[in-house]
Amino acid sequence: MNDLPWLTVLWALPLVGALVTAFLPKAPGSVLPKQAGLVFSLLTLAVGIAIAVQYDTGDGMQFTETHTWIEAFGVHYALGVDGLSLLLILMTVALVPLVLVAAWNEADDRSPAAFVAWALALESFSLAVFAATDVFLFYVVFEATLIPAYFLIGRFGRAGRGYAALKFLMYQLGGGLVLLAAVIGLYVVSSDAGTPSYLLGDLQQLDIGTDTQRWLFVGFMIAFAIKAPLFPVHTWLADTTEKATPGTSVLLVCVLDKIGTYGMLRFCLGLFPEASQWATPVVVAIALVSIVYGAFVAIGQDDILRLIGLTSLSHFGFITLGIFAFTSQGGTGAILYMVNHGVATAALFLIAGYLIRRKGTSLISQITGVESKAPVLAGLFLVAGLATLGLPGLSQFVSEILVLISAFDYHWWVGAIAVTGIVLAAVYVLWLYQRTMTGPTAPGDEALTDLNRRELVAVVPLMLALVFFGFYPMPLLDVSNPTVDSLLQHVGVSDDAPTVADHAEEGTH
């Protein structure tokens, strides 16, 4: 059982599913490609759960696989998971089948088989990214994610999707080229130290000069800031979420964009600890601008999908702030924020997609009085929105309070500015709900229907996760705490504050 290459099976399954789905017979009206894609996504979910069941929360990198790939350059096919990667892997394998169910009829007017195949390919490459422990392998799959993402945006969605796809690709390729230069720089550094190697464990043992380490950090950080995204390299985000299908937006914002903040933790802090501390004031300032600017801009939007996309600019600012506060609460809060943001924002996008298909428009100014005709849709949309603004009792509150504690520990004015993001979130969420769900029913909405069984199957698990982890976040904390402690030790930061788990244990005595 333990000899099975679990992580290879994990990322290979959806890739095989993508190939099978792409070559299935495509008779008009056939649901076979969609059924096959759902089966493969559920099998991937089962493998992810099997890995989680066997995972030992206190034992570092696990399920490791290391094989020489390009010996002359020190490149290996190397995989492994710790608490950080495990949580993001579980989030990914859980979201993809829900997206496929929610988007069951989303691409019927084009090519359902192509939509499912590209979605599975994106899942496959994303899982490989989260599991890669060789920098060169990480770079390869990091760039490979752009292929299915580009076609999901450019082939499906609304008018203007071609421009949005091209803009997305240009930004991401620009960041990828900067990252490639930094990856080559790592090869030079490791070669000068003796035997070249791209393995994370080997690179972490290198004594990289201060100037070199800082230049390499900048290269990695630019690529991750674009991917996340952060201000001012975020402008592709709103166009993409506005023009793409809601299902595609879930895959991009809730899965693909997490690669950016994942990379900050895994590579920026893991490989360049001194440079990460050196850059902290600038990164914190960028995070604060992202928090406040993203919230303000979201308030002024009239397109519901564009608004939801811009809220993520603010949320990624919170995640980045937690990472670079260099405290146990901040690191744990950032990891939990990645997961909880993925769940809450996925619910918002999917329910907004249901609403748009019923109304035929995404303009907030043309939607009103939905709760009187579709109370379940309106109620679930409100719960997802309240989770987004950090309502106590819902999972994102736990993440935000941990990040805010770390922000105030860093400096009181940093915490004070970050808190404004919470206040502004209440404005854009509640105002959005008020404008679209309350008030008189719009003319022509007399036959507006509520959510059907398939639509509920896609969003109810997300609602349950928001409530469950809001009241009982310990399973997430137990997995993330050891990884954060290890990272802080590696960076050389002394953090005397007790972890959240410590507080919980004290409360049981």
| Pairwise CA distance, residues 468 & 255, whole Å | 21
Provide the 10 A C-beta neighbour count for residue 380: 23
Contacts of 389 by beta carbon, 8 Å cutoff, 6+ apart: 422, 425, 426, 429, 430
Taking a C-beta distance cutoff of 8 angstroms, is the pair 428, 311 a contact?
yes
How far lies 171's CA from each of 178, 224, 227, 232, 312, in Å?
11, 11, 9, 12, 17
The number of helices, as runs of H, and strands, as runs of E, in the chain is 23, 2
The predicted structure's pLDDT at residue 509: 38
CB atoms within 10 A of CB 192: 12
Going by pLDDT thresholds of 50, 70 and 90, the confidence category of residue 74 is: confident
- Give the C-alpha separation, 1 to 485, whole Å: 30
Q: Which amino acid is at 25?
A: P
Q: Average of pLDDT values for 384-389? A: 92
Q: What is the pLDDT of residue 184?
A: 93
CA distance 132 to 235: 28
Tokens (6 digits) for 95? 């979201």
The contacts of residue 29 (CB under 8 Å, 6+ apart) are none
Distance CA 360, CA 462 (A): 25
- State the Cα–Cα distance between residues 285 and 263, nearest whole angstrom: 19
Instruction: Name the residue with higher pLDDT: 1 or 66.
Output: 66
For residue 497, pLDDT over 80 is answered with no
Whole-number Å distance between alpha carbons of 335 and 476? 9
Evaluate the CA torsion angle 142, 57, 7, 76 in order and state its sign: positive
264 has a pLDDT exceeding 90: yes
Q: Can you tell me the distance from the alpha carbon of 355 to that of 344, in angstroms, rounded to the nearest whole number?
A: 17
Q: Quick one: 413 exposed, middle or buried, by C-beta within 10 A (0-12, 13-18, 19+)?
A: exposed
Q: Cα(324)–Cα(276) distance, rounded to whole angstroms?
A: 8
What's the angle, vertex CA 148, arms to CA 290 and CA 55, rounded to 5?
75
Report the predicted TM-score, pTM, of the whole model to 2 decimal places.
0.93
Going by pLDDT thresholds of 50, 70 and 90, the confidence category of residue 205 is: confident
> At 331, which helix (H) or strand (E)?
helix 328-359
Percent above pLDDT 90 for the chain: 65
Question: Is the Cα dihedral 402, 404, 408, 414 positive or negative?
Answer: positive
For the chain, first and last CA: distance in Å?
38
**pLDDT single digits (tens) 117-176:** 999 999 999 999 999 999 999 999 999 999 999 999 988 888 888 999 999 999 999 999
The residue to which tokens 């803009």 are assigned: 167
What is the CB-side half-sphere exposure of residue 341 using CA atoms within 13 A? 30
Per-residue pLDDT tens over the stretch 458-489: 999 999 999 999 999 999 999 989 988 888 88
Prior bond of 461 cis (ω within 30°)? no
**Helix, strand, coil shares, percent, the chain, to 5:** 75, 5, 20
Over residues 396-418, the mean pLDDT reads 92
CA pair distance 385, 477, nearest whole angstrom: 23
User: Which pLDDT tens digit goes with each residue over 16-47?
Assistant: 999 999 888 776 567 888 899 999 999 999 99
Q: Are 175 and 219 in contact (CB under 8 A)?
A: no
Instruction: Give pLDDT, residue 444.
Output: 72
Name, in order, each residue with C-beta under 8 angstroms of 89's C-beta and a sequence gap of 6 or more: 10, 48, 51, 81, 127, 130, 131
**Token reading at 403:** 């990040």
Give helix 161-192 / helix 146-155 axis angle, nearest 10°: 170
